[in-house]
Amino acid sequence: MTPIGEYIRYLVISRLAKGPATVDELNSVVEDAVRRLGVNYNWRIWPELVKREVAFDGNTAKLTERGRWVAAVGLKAMARYVQRTLGRVTLAL
């Protein structure tokens, strides 16, 4: 996965770790993040990037069991990787 894809995964999983969110809210978070990076990246593919970690119920997204595990165990490692590879990103939502 590319560093930008991992950054998107980080943003979505960390947001959903706080509770369910609408798909529109997550679209906005991801689109804003990609625009701030100033790169040409198709941000609309984010559901495919988190298909094992996020379950969709209509217009609502929530973490799966695997997603909760990644949020609990893997977010710090993801953050270190993203900061090391992209450097200029803001990891807080």
Helix ranges restricted to H, the chain: 3-16, 23-37, 46-49, 65-69, 75-86
Q: Look at the block and give the residue holding tokens 């593919």.
A: 45
The pLDDT-based confidence of 88 (bands split at 50, 70, 90) is: low
User: Where do the domains of the chain lie?
Assistant: 3-86
Q: pTM for this structure? A: 0.90
pLDDT of 1 over the 90 cut: no
- Give the model's pLDDT for residue 11: 95
Mean pLDDT score, 12-26:
97
The CATH architecture annotation of domain 3-86 reads: Orthogonal Bundle (1.10)
Q: Which of 64, 42, 60 has its CA nearest to residue 51?
A: 64
19/36 Cα distance (integer angstroms): 25
| Beta strand 60-63 pairing with 54-57 | antiparallel
